[in-house]
Amino acid sequence: MPKMQSVVTSALGEPWEVRTVEAPEAGPGEVLVKVHASGICGTDVWITEGKLSFGVEFPMTLGHEGVGEVVAVGEGVTSRAVGDRVGLVTLQTGCGRCAWCRRGEALDFVTAASCERPVLTGMNVAGANGEYVATRAEATVILPEGLSYEHAAPLMCVGYTAWSGLRRARPKPGERVAVSGIGGMGHLALQYAKAAGFTTIAVTGSPDKRDLARTLGADLVVSNGAELREAGGADVLMHTNSSNRAVADAFQGVAPRGRVVLMGIAFDEFAVPNMPMLMNSIQILGSAHNGTEYLTQALQIAAEGKVTPMVEIYGQDRAAEAYQRVADGKARFRAVITHA
């Protein structure tokens, strides 16, 4: 059997390490992708630390922000060809048989969360942190021309989430969009909102991110919800950071009939004030990967140069260091592992 180098999470809470493992093959309906870049997501940290599990069994090759080149196609594959530049969609398929799957719903993250046995690349089957990964052909998207692998990788999860979240709020022309939390997701949400033509406001408690937020397209930068309210408020609040307490604060700046989109996974208590919410008819929306159409749109907007992920690039041999940067919240803003 051919071998490959893979970044493996050996056990719960253990650092990532490079191991020699068996290379996958393209089974029927699958493509074999030579991975060029793989982004590290906050979810990877939570899986490694045991805060989240999608049925993971260690040792595990994580990585759900994979992009690369198709090097082999399995039996029956007609939609992809050797040489295609592709990105990997996290949800490969639902089980097809459980009560949820029988409804015939879309392959988005609601299905990932609701199906009894979803197949999730880099979460419960081997992901893109190895040199090669096999996935179902229909769980790939063709990357637009002009978008580098290093920039495409973070868009496969966090960029996809950012654009999905904006669309979920259905902003109307002339509305104001605030992004709270300027990190891996927030720095992209800000750029997407600006690229879509909205007045954008960054909400960040980090003084060192104020200038950067302006560079990324923020028309206005405020420190908290009270300042947001004083500045005229926001019709849409995209909450991207991992603190529910911060939602309650930013909530003060949501305009009447505004929409709050929860996009960052958080584990602290979620408490929003009841009266301002019901009196002002404010909606709170959950949002993640809302359908592949939003992923391809997110990629296209970036290919046109309107959105550019800020990435730190690490060779495979430095994956453990890259992981630590993400776990410590120090990456600016997305760590990407590349395979030679």
- Specify the residue, 66 or 94, whose C-beta has the smaller distance to Zn ion: 94
Strand-strand pairing, 119-120 and 132-136: unpaired
Q: How far is the CB of 185 from Zn ion (least distance, A)?
A: 9
Give dist(CA 195, CA 106) in Å, integer: 27
- Indicate if the alpha-carbon torsion angle 312, 38, 119, 100 is positive or negative: positive
Q: Which is nearer to Zn ion, 115 or 299 (CB)?
A: 115
Q: Is 312 exposed, middle or buried (0-12, 13-18, 19+ CB in 10 A)?
A: middle
Cα torsion through 91, 93, 96, 101, rounded to 10: 30
Q: Which is nearer to Zn ion, 128 or 250 (CB)?
A: 128
Q: How far is the CB of 187 from Zn ion (least distance, A)?
A: 15
Instruction: List the beta bridge partners of residue 17.
Output: 8
Closer of 36 and 289 to Zn ion (Cβ):
289
Closer to Zn ion by Cβ: residue 95 or 110: 95
**Which chain residues interact with Zn ion by CB under 5 A?**
41, 43, 94-95, 98, 101, 115, 157
- Minimum CB separation of residue 209 from Zn ion in Å reads 21
Closer residue to Zn ion (CB): 52 or 231: 52
C-alpha distances out from residue 246 to 53, 188, 204, 222, 236, Å: 25, 19, 10, 13, 15
CB of 126 to Zn ion, least distance (A): 16
Residue 140's DSSP bridge partners are 88
DSSP 188-209: HHHHHHHHTT-EEEEE-S-GGG
Cβ of residue 310: shortest distance to Zn ion, in angstroms? 16
Q: In whole angstroms, how close is the CB of 71 to Zn ion at the nearest point? A: 25
Q: CB burial class (10 A; 0-12, 13-18, 19+) of residue 43? A: buried
